[in-house]
Amino acid sequence: MNTSVRDLLYTAEACDEGKSIRHIMEKELFMSSREITRCKQFDDGVCIRRANSSLSIPAFVGKSDADGLHPVFAGKSDSDGFSPVMIRECVFPGDVIRIRIYEDVENEGDIAANDIPLDIVYEDEDILVVNKPGDMVVHPSYAHYTDSLAGAVKGYYIRTSQNHVVRAIGRLDRETSGLVLFAKNRYVAAILSDRQGEMSKRKEYLALASGYFDVMQGTIDAPIGETPGQRMVRCVTDDGKRAVTHFAVVRQFDDFALVRLFLETGRTHQIRVHMAHTGHPLLGDGLYGKEIADSHGITRAALHAAHIEFTHPILKKKMSFDADLPQDMKIII
């Protein structure tokens, strides 16, 4: 099995005394039952280094009940002083729990690596933030099997000898440029995926919207659903799902405006549909802005994911990133 490993370390504090390792994994490390079960499958998946060496760790051979007993040999520790432990064992202040996250990169799926250069905004051991160009799909499809952003990330991992599964957190439409977040391991991916709703509300977009705005800021609360007979086209419809978009005009030009947008919901094509619904389709939007007389040379929907922020699952600190407008949008303002 071709694997990548990420170690999580947790040092028990006074308030943790008497808590089980399972409790720490669930409540402090936010691990799902599925991930906990997977960790127990490895001999060194859950280990502990006792602050008090006189506290012995029970020795077991083979596997047993639902708390998961690893094949453990009495008194055996690794070079860092960690020994396998049952997750029902309790912790004491100063104990260090090590959770080892194994990746199976062979189960990544069918992503064709490519050599398309990446505009990397940030990278560490756990996450990768990339500024995606417009007119590029995030995930490979039948029509874009060899030129996806996921393929570019996979190619980058290969060239830099990083053994990670490609996991995009959230998505952008093919035509939309801007920030895309990737998780480098299954643990971080699970936490960030659970927080997507919160993250979406902290994401900001910039758009070039056609027409003159009489109202400089406001909220569009209009349900969005599928257009009958057109699977990929959305519209505002009473029987659609609730969709809420907040907007503010940054700068008004003669026949279009630079607009900043925030989403409360994440419907397909939400910004494009809402702006068209209000009479301000995005420049270059071939689906929802066919009536625009002059898109000023823009050949895609003029939408850019300019800002994202979230709490880092490992570092526990706020991360905030910005991406400048791409050249095709910047050149006309």
So which residues are the catalytic ones?
A: 173
Q: How many CA atoms within 13 Å lie on the side-chain side of 221?
A: 2
Locate 132 and state its tokens.
């995606």
Cβ contacts of 43 within 8 Å, gap of 6 or more: 70, 71, 72, 84
Own/partner contacts of 195-198, CB < 8 Å, gap of 24 or more, are 195/310, 195/311, 196/169, 196/170, 196/266, 197/266, 198/310
Residues with Cβ within 8 Å of 199's Cβ and at least 6 positions away in sequence, in order, are 169, 170, 192, 308, 309, 310
CA contacts within 13 A on the Cβ side of 233: 11
In whole angstroms, give the CA distance from residue 13 to residue 93: 5
The two beta strands, 217-221 and 244-252, are: antiparallel
How many Å apart are CA 129 and CA 216, to the nearest integer?
31
Any idea of the CA torsion for 212, 215, 221, 222, to the nearest 10 degrees?
Answer: -30
The DSSP H or E segment spanning 191 is helix 186-194
CA separation for the pair 274, 272 (Å, rounded): 6
List residues bridging with 132 in a β-sheet.
Answer: 178
Closest by CA position to 11, among listed 49, 53, 46, 60: 49
Where residue 56 falls (left for φ over 0; alpha for ψ -120 to 50; beta otherwise) is beta
